[in-house]
Amino acid sequence: MELRDLKISGSSVLTGGAYRDVKVSGASKITSDITCETMSISGAITVDGHVDAKSCKVSGACKVKGSVRAAEIKISGGSSIQGSLEGERISLAGGIKVDGGIKSALLKLSGEISVGEDMECEEFYLQGAIKAQGAVNCEKCALKVAGRSEIGELVGAEIEVREGYKNSTGFLKNLFGGSRGSLNVSLIEGDDIYLENTTCEMVRGDRVVLGPGCKIEKVEYREKLEVHKEAKVGEKVAL
Amino acid sequence: MEELISKKDLLIETNISYGQLYRWKRKKLIPEEWFMKKSTYTGHETFFPREKILERVHQILNMKEGASLDDLADKFSSDLPEELERKKEELLSLGVLSREILSLYEEIFKGKEIYNFQDILYMYISEELLSKGDLSVEDLSRILKMLSEHYEVIKDKDPALTVYRRFGVTTALLHKAGEIFVADQVPLVKDYSIRNALEKLKLKLI
């Protein structure tokens, strides 16, 4: 059967189902799970179910009560997802809240992001502030942190945490209160680790560089450890 | 109580890195439930079931040449290849099942040419249980009936199978180790792990 398109703007109540291209804007509500090729919702749309698509774009102040699964997911604005996100490429920009976890090959986050559960990605880039309750497991991550970021556990192969917006002024500086970006995390484990402005109870790695602003209770390393003069380290153990 | 190994010791003993360990976890080569967090006097440490993790790491390291991590993941994952089907000749040539067990089943499934994954699993379990001795074919058919009626439990709960016999009547129990205690009988089959059978079977089939 040929799938139909769903294109609506304004304010209405729609049922989910299977479609080809879905484009909904305004203040509508989709009342059940939706499966489609492309999904684009903007405005103040509520989806009362899961989204399964090839690509999914969400902008504005939308709310998805289920999970979103799509090869490509782009969410911007002040949207919230009550389930999880799963896709090949995921980018979130703005003040996004995800109650579940995130699973993606490539993950790009900017703005102020909150994630309720575990995150798994091959590559993870962040510019901004993050609050992630669970563990972040990634092959490679490069985080430019702003504000007071918090992550439960950060593990993987290559881990790099830098202070973001070091030289920025104006809007971004105001947005994050002008203070230095910092990261608070309970455990970091990886092969190559570079940290700045990071407070952590335990860092374990093969090659570890602790840059300025780090407060580390204990570090265990196998091959190399470098500690910047502006870093505080409690205990150093070579394995 | 199964013996545990700390993450630190695992890395030293197998000479793998954090990056490898966590990559394999992401690829589901190492099940989430094997990562067990425990408090120790030095803080939190992760432990693994020692035998299982060492065997798994060696399997991964030995099979790495040529096979992609995703291929490996299919072999190890607890998702079952339920859509898989094999003909009798294929099963014989793969060496998964013996001619005896196949002909026994041919009597039950008359005229069946192609077996699906569940059929193969039950045949495989039968073969393993029969080779332990003690069980008769009648016992076995009752056990298989119970297994086939509780396929969902097998899939989701990772149970073990224990079989008792008293006054010639066999009783089979599916349980999760340690949760059932029967004191007045000695089991004929004890803690037969269906998950182990599943995983061994998958390695042979795929």
Q: Kindly report the average pLDDT of chain B as a whole number.
A: 78
The phi, psi pair for A5, rounded to 5°, reads -90, 155
Task: Tell me the residues of B at the A interface, defined by beta carbons under 8 Å apart.
Answer: 8, 12, 17-20, 22-23, 25-26, 43-44
Contact A198, A231 (CB under 8 A): no
Partner residue opposite B26 with nearest CB, options A120, A190, A201: A120
Q: Which of A131, A49, A114 is nearest to A78 (CA)?
A: A114
- Smallest CA–CA distance from A123 into chain B, residue: B23
pLDDT digits (tens, 9 = 90+) for B24-60: 999 888 888 889 888 777 667 889 999 889 988 988 8
Rounded CA-CA distance B121/B114 in Å is 13
Q: Between B69-76 and B50-63, two packed helices, what is the crossing angle to 10 degrees?
A: 140
Contacts of A187 in chain B (CB under 8 A): 44
Measured in whole angstroms, how far is the alpha carbon of residue B108 from the centre of its chain?
25
Between residues B25 and B115, the one the model is more confident about: B25
A contact test, residue of B22, B32, B36 with most A CBs within 10 A: B22
Partner residue opposite B19 with nearest CB, options A157, A187, A220: A157
Please give the angle made by the CA atoms of B82, B85 and B89, to the nearest 5 degrees. Answer: 145
Contact B120, B101 (CB under 8 A): no
Scanning A163-202 for CB atoms below 8 A from B yields 186-187, 189-191, 201-202
Between residues B181 and A110, the one the model is more confident about: A110
Residue position matching structure tokens 């182990």: B196
CB–CB of A239 and B12 under 8 A?
yes
B contact test, residue of A122, A124, A154, A155 with most B CBs within 10 A: A155
Q: What is the DSSP string of chain B?
A: ---EEEHHHHHHHHT--HHHHHHHHHTTSS-GGG-EEEEETTEEEEEEEHHHHHHHHHHHHHHTTT--HHHHHHHHSSS--TT-EEEHHHHHHHTSS-HHHHHHHHHHSTT--EEEHHHHHHHHHHHHHHHTSS--HHHHHHHHHHHHHTHHHHHHH--EEEEEEETTEEEEEEE-TTS----S---SEEEEEHHHHHHHHHHHH-
Reported ipTM: the value is: 0.86
Domain ranges within chain B, ordered by starting residue: 4-76, 85-205
Contact A126, A143 (CB under 8 A): yes
Measured in whole angstroms, how far is the alpha carbon of residue A27 from the centre of its chain?
26
* pLDDT at res. A20: 94
CA distance A218 to chain B (A): 10
Domain ranges within chain A, ordered by starting residue: 1-72, 101-238
Is the predicted pLDDT of residue B181 greater than 50, yes or no?
no
Question: B4-76, what's its fold?
Answer: Multidrug-efflux Transporter Regulator; Chain: A; Domain 2 (1.10.1660)
Q: Is A120 on the interface with B (CB under 8 A)?
A: yes
* pLDDT at res. B193: 79
B contact test, residue of A86, A88, A119, A120 with most B CBs within 10 A: A120
Which residues are paired to A107 by β-bridges? A90, A124
CB–CB of B25 and A137 under 8 A?
yes
In the sheet that holds B169-175, the strands lie side by side as B169-175, B160-166, B189-193
Contacts of A117 in chain B (CB under 8 A): none
pLDDT digits (tens, 9 = 90+) for A164-180: 865 555 555 555 555 67
Q: Which of A160, A95, A152, A84 is nearest to A123 (CA)?
A: A160
Lowest pLDDT segment from A107-116, A155-164, B75-84, B87-96: B75-84
Rounded CA-CA distance B151/B133 in Å is 24
Rounded CA-CA distance B143/B163 in Å is 9
* pLDDT at res. A234: 94
CB–CB of B17 and A187 under 8 A?
no
Residue position matching structure tokens 């010639």: B168
Q: Is A158 on the interface with B (CB under 8 A)?
A: yes
HEC secondary structure over A67-120: CEEEEEEEEEECCEECCCEEEEEEEEEEEEEECCCEEEEEEEEEEEEEECCCEE
Is the predicted pLDDT of residue B3 greater than 70, yes or no?
yes
Residues, chain A: 239
pLDDT along chain A (239 residues), means of 10: 86 92 93 94 94 95 95 95 96 95 95 95 95 95 92 96 69 57 94 95 95 94 94 92
The phi, psi pair for B33, rounded to 5°, reads -75, -10
CB–CB of A156 and B17 under 8 A?
no
Task: State the DSSP H helix or E strand holding residue A62, giving kind and residue range, or none if neither.
Answer: none
Contact A215, A232 (CB under 8 A): yes
Q: How far is CA B17 from CA A143, A189, B10, B61, B138, in A?
A: 22, 10, 10, 12, 51
pLDDT digits (tens, 9 = 90+) for B131-169: 776 777 778 877 887 787 777 777 766 777 888 877 777
Q: Which two tokens stand for residue A189?
A: 């484990």
CB–CB of B44 and A187 under 8 A?
yes
Contacts of A137 in chain B (CB under 8 A): 22, 25-26
CA distance A9 to chain B (A): 40
CB–CB of A191 and B18 under 8 A?
yes
- Smallest CA–CA distance from A201 into chain B, residue: B43
Using pLDDT thresholds of 50, 70 and 90, give the confidence band for residue B109.
low
CB–CB of B22 and A201 under 8 A?
no
* pLDDT at res. A168: 54
